[in-house]
Chain A
C-alpha cells in the first residue's frame, strides 16, 4: 500500500497518464497504478471523474483530481520540496509553458490523431502538415527558451518537456505505420536531441509503453475507427 495514499487510474497507452507517472517519479512518490480497461469503465473511475469519465485520475487520499496538466500542477505544488520543480519559478515562464502545453494538446493531439485515422490522402496530408508545423514551432521554442540546455525546462525536465514528451511513443508508432520520419533531424535537430534525452531520463525511462505493443493497439484503433466511419 502506497505510503502517500496515491492511486492513479491509467491505461498503458495513454500519453496523459504518462505525464502523471513522470511527475510522480520526479517527486519520488510511490503510488498504486490501477489499470483501467475502459470497457466497461470502473465504478471508481465514474465516481472519481463524473464530468469526463476519463483517465488519468489521481486519487490522493479520498481526493480525486482529473486532467493531466492539472494533476501535474497539483503534484508539483503539494510536493514542492521533493525532487525538482516541474513548473517554472516565475509567472511569465509558467504562462509560456502553459500556453505551449495547451497548444500541443490542441494542435498536436488533434492532427496526430486525425492523421492516424484519416480515410483519405488529402486529409492525411493536411494533418501531417499541421504536425510538421507544430514540430517546427517547438524547435523554435526549444532554441529560444532552453538557453542551450537539454530540456525546455533547462537542466531539468519541466512542464513543457512532460507535455510534449508524453506523445513521443505515439509519434514513433506513427513513424512505423507510415514508414517515414516524423521527427526529422534535418528539420528539427534540437528537438531530435531533446527527444533522445527525454526518453532516457530516469523519471521517464521505465514508464514508456513498448512500441510494438502500442503499434498493435494503434492498428486496432485505426481499424475500429475505419469501421465506424460513415461513408460520404
Chain B
C-alpha cells in the first residue's frame, strides 16, 4: 500500500501543480492544507531547506519544489505521461517548464504593487507572455510541446485560473484573444480538461483570498516607499 501525503495550500498555484498531476494519474493521496502563518511540525521536518509548500511525502520520503515533485510523480506513475518519448521533445518540454517556473513569480509581481511600479510589472508580465505565445510552439499544438497536457502546461496552469482572479481584483486583462490568440486558446483547452476543471479552487473563495492578500501587499509596498 502506497503512503502518499501532500502538504499544500489550497490557494497556491504551486500546490495545485502537484494536486493536478496526482489526479491526472489517478493516484490517491492524503492532503494536508497548511496554515502558512503557523506551519506544522511535519512540514518543517519534511522541508527544512525552504520550509514551504508543496511537499510530497512518498512512503516517508519527502520531495519539495513543485516542478521537481511533478517530474517525480510523472516518472513514478507513468500512466498519462507528461513528457514526450522523444529525447529532443523532452528537452524542449523541460526547457519551457523551467522557463515558466522561473518566470511565474515575476509574472505575479503586478499584483504586489500599484502606481509606476505596477506599470513596470505589467509590462514585464506582458513580455514574458509574449515569449510563451511566440516561441513555445502553441501556434502548432494545442498544448505547450504537444497535443496532450504536459509538464510545461502544468507549470503554466495557474495562468488559466489564478491569474484571472488577480486581474479581476487589480483591473487588468492580459490574455485577450487579440493580443495572445494562442494563449487564449490554450487557457480554454486547459480548463476543459476534466481533471483540471474538477480540481480548481472555488472561484469566489479565491477572489476573497486574493483580495485580502492584495491589501497586505499594498500595505507592504506603501511602507517600503515611505521608508
Which residue numbers of A lie inside 8 Å of B, CB to CB?
50-51, 60, 63, 65-67, 70-71, 73-74, 77-78, 91-92, 94-96, 98-99, 102-103, 137
Q: Are B58 and A70 in contact (CB under 8 A)?
A: no
In the complex, what distance in Å separates the CA atom of A60 from the CA atom of B99? Answer: 21
Most chain A CB neighbours (cut-off 10 Å) among B58, B63, B131: B63
Residues of A within 8 A of B95 (CB): 51, 65-67, 70
Q: How far is the CB of A88 from chain B (nearest CB, A)?
A: 11
**B69: A residues at CB distance < 8 A:** 95
Cα distance A101–B212 when bound, in Å? 35
Closest A-B pairs by Cβ, 8 of them:
A91-B75, A95-B72, A74-B91, A77-B87, A65-B91, A95-B63, A70-B94, A91-B76
Interface contact tally, CB-CB below 8 A: 57
Instruction: Determine the main DSSP class of B at the interface with A.
Output: helix
Asked if B61 CB lies within 8 Å of chain A CBs, one says: yes
Measured in the bound complex, the distance between the Cα atoms of B20 and A26 in whole Å is 37
Could you tell me if B72 and A94 are in contact, using CB atoms closer than 8 angstroms? yes
Q: How far is the CA of A117 from the CA of B64 in the complex (A)?
A: 31
CB distance from B145 to the nearest CB of A (A): 13
Asked if A92 and B61 make an inter-chain contact with CB atoms under 8 angstroms apart, the answer reads: yes
What residue of chain B has the Cβ atom nearest to residue A77's Cβ?
B87
Shortest beta-carbon distance from B104 to chain A in Å: 14
Q: Which residues of B contact A71 (CB under 8 A)?
A: 91
Contact status of A74 and B63, CB under 8 A, knowing A92-B58, A98-B68: no
Most chain A CB within 10 A, of B64, B90, B91, B131, is at B91
Distance in Å: Cβ of B154 to nearest Cβ of chain A: 16
Decide if B63 touches A51 in the complex (CB within 8 Å).
no
| Nearest-Cβ distance from residue B144 to partner chain A, whole angstroms | 13
Contacting residues, chain A, for B76 (C-beta < 8 A): 91
